């Protein structure tokens, strides 16, 4: 058999680029993270973890025969499950379900959270801003302007990237069929099944914001290196920014740092130096 050659033109002196294969998923995750950083801030993306669910949020469900999204009808002041197929055009009819994006403001919820808390609040993006709530009987509504325990939800990102929402009573939000074949939201499911799995999309800028917060937390947890000159300047400098750096007390400073009393030791040294200066 004759050898198949590449049809790409090559010129004398061109360097041959070798392709490198990565055996782990680290390279692909880094490339994906880099692609997300280059995206438009308002691009709709799927969250990889619960902390990334924030800001404008699009929630939809792969119902059959038509997928639905969670809407809020500000005219009737109620939650509506809107068929997404009604919004399809010739351009989007062949688009995979996971690539759907909101087409109306009523399809967007605003996710807020208290810093450090795993729970979130979902507020309507239209009207007066009502919070999605669920009572002890599993009745889901959006008619409250203040948030409380019944307005708290804990998002759980599943292995396939879909999301389940657990309420304050440790029950899950789900799609339920009622009389007449209509669909409505309920919040009384004990387990996560097909009805309790939702696709969630957020805007790229808020996902990136979550990553930046994580980096800051990791930086706070690491032990800072002790720079004697800069540390002494912070705790001992006075007047025109004069800094007194000790050459004989390094052992004492290192021991104080290990024992967690570095600031106290430096302040004592500052007081002693001031008293020696004015005596």
pLDDT at 190: 95
Per-residue pLDDT of the chain (279 residues; tens, 9 = 90+): 455 444 444 444 555 555 554 445 555 555 555 555 667 888 999 999 999 999 999 999 999 888 999 999 988 889 999 999 888 777 777 788 999 999 999 999 999 988 778 999 999 998 788 999 999 999 999 999 999 999 999 999 999 999 999 999 999 999 998 887 889 999 999 999 999 999 999 999 999 998 888 887 776 544 445 555 555 555 555 444 554 555 556 677 777 776 767 777 777 776 776 566 555
> What pLDDT is recorded for position 8?
46
At 9 the pLDDT is 45
Q: What structural domains does the chain harbor?
A: 32-218 (2.80.10.50), 228-238+245-278 (no CATH)
pLDDT computed for residue 16 by the predictor = 53
pLDDT tens readout for residues 19-76: 554 445 555 555 555 555 667 888 999 999 999 999 999 999 999 888 999 999 988 8
Instruction: Supply the pLDDT for residue 35.
Output: 57
Token pair 């009604």 is found at: 86
HEC per residue, the chain: CCCCCCCCCCCCCCCCCCCCCCCCCHHHHHHHHHHHHHCCCCCEECCCCHHHCCEEEEEEECCCCCCEEEEEECCCCEEEEEEHHHHCCCCCCCCCHHHCCCCCHHHEEEEECCCCCCCEEEEECCCCCCEEEECCCCEEEEEECCCCHHHCEEEEECCCCCEEEECCCCCEEEEEECHHHCEEEEEEECCCCHHHCEEEEEEHHHHHHHHHHHHHHHHHHCCCCCCHHHHHHHHHCECCCECCCCCCCHHHHHHHHHCCCHHHHHHHHHHHHHHHHHC
> Tokens at residue 4, please?
């198949």
pLDDT of residue 233: 55
Please write the tens of the pLDDT for every residue from 115-127: 778 999 999 998 7
**pLDDT score at 14:** 52
Residue 7: its pLDDT value, please? Answer: 45
Q: Which two tokens stand for residue 37?
A: 């950083």
- The pTM assigned to this predicted structure is 0.66
């Amino acid at each position: 058999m004759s050898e198949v050659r590449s049809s790409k033109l090559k010129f004398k002196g061109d360097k041959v680029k070798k392709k490198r294969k990565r055996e782990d998923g680290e390279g692909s995750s880094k490339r994906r993270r880099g692609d997300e950083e280059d995206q438009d801030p308002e691009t709709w993306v799927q969250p990889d973890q619960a902390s990334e669910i924030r800001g404008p949020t699009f929630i939809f469900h792969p119902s059959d025969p038509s997928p639905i999204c969670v809407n809020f009808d500000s005219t009737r002041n109620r939650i509506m499950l809107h068929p997404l197929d009604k919004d399809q055009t010739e351009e989007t009819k062949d688009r995979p379900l996971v690539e759907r994006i909101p087409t109306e403001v009523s399809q967007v919820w605003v996710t807020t959270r208290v810093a450090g808390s795993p729970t979130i609040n979902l507020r309507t993006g239209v009207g007066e801003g009502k919070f999605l709530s669920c009572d002890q009987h599993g009745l889901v509504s959006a008619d409250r302007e203040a948030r409380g325990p019944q307005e708290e939800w804990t998002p759980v990102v599943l292995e396939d990237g879909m999301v389940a929402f657990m309420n304050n009573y440790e029950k899950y939000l789900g799609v339920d069929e009622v009389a007449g074949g209509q669909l409505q939201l309920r919040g009384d499911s004990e387990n996560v099944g097909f009805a309790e799995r939702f696709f969630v999309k957020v805007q790229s800028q808020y996902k990136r914001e979550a990553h930046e917060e994580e980096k800051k937390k990791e930086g706070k947890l690491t032990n800072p290196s002790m720079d004697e000159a800069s540390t002494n300047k912070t705790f001992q400098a006075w007047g025109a920014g004069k800094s007194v750096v000790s050459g004989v007390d390094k052992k004492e400073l290192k021991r104080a740092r290990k024992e967690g009393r570095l600031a106290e030791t430096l302040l004592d040294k500052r007081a002693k130096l001031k008293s020696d200066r004015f005596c």
